[in-house]
Structure 1
Amino acid sequence: MPESKVRPQAKKKAQAKNRVKAEERRTEKKAAPVDRSWVPKVFVPLFLLGVLWLIVYYIAGNQIPGMKDLGDWNVLIGMCLMAAGFGVATLWK
């Protein structure tokens, strides 16, 4: 099958467009990698603190003055600590 002729103007426009795209690719800078080494150091203690809070509340909550005053809010505090740990854990790559 015969090939159609390319008009000189269209060919020049296509080449110019390709040059612009190539220059854009060269000028694009890659973002510096983010250091997330702090994430496991934060989320593991948050999880453990939440679990420990609940264990202490269920075992000796009536004998600890601060926990006794909070009552059932201790469950919410423990769950929030664990949820915060989960939220931080999602940042880990």
Structure 2
Amino acid sequence: MPESRRRKPKKPTPTTTAGASARRRKPPSPPWFGGLILAFFLLGIAYLLVYYFSNGGVLGMEGLGGWNILIGFGFVVVGLAVSTQWR
């Protein structure tokens, strides 16, 4: 019966000091960070809903015209960008 090849012995791994080359983990996000993300999402959605349901007739929205859509989605995009920093 054929004999299987022997495995090579494992090379010892060099030990490093704990602080020298270890990757430092970033601290977790503060508790209010989740609320900030949610606030940006809700603010953007609320802005868009007010614009659509009022047909742009709300004071301050009248002069902006189509830019209102960009502003509403801008809040949502900022919320998405902030959410990528969540830990």
TM-score (ref. length: structure 2): 0.69
2:65 to 67, 71, 78: 71
1:31 to 11, 18, 24: 24
Deviation at 1:64, TM superposition (A): 1.2
Matched, 1:89 2:86: no
Deviation at 1:30, TM superposition (A): 5.7
Structure 1 partner of 2:3? none
Deviation at 1:74, TM superposition (A): 0.3
Let me know the Cα RMSD of the aligned residues.
2.1
Q: Name stretches of at least 5 consecutive residues in structure 1 with no aligned partner.
A: 1-17
Q: Distance in 2 between matches of 1:48 and 1:88?
A: 14
Report the CA distance shift for 1:35/1:54 in structure 2 as closer, same or farther (over 3 A).
same
Report the CA distance shift for 1:43/1:27 in structure 2 as closer, same or farther (over 3 A).
closer
Structure 2 partner of 1:45? 39
Q: Distance in 2 between matches of 1:36 and 1:26?
A: 24
Q: Name stretches of at least 5 consecutive residues in structure 2 with no aligned partner.
A: 1-12
Aligned length: 73
TM-score (ref. length: structure 1): 0.65
Deviation at 1:35, TM superposition (A): 3.3
Q: Render the CA deviation track for 1:8-55: whole Å, top value 9, x for unaligned.
A: xxxxxxxxxx8xx53x42442663642313321111010000000000
Matched, 1:55 2:70: no
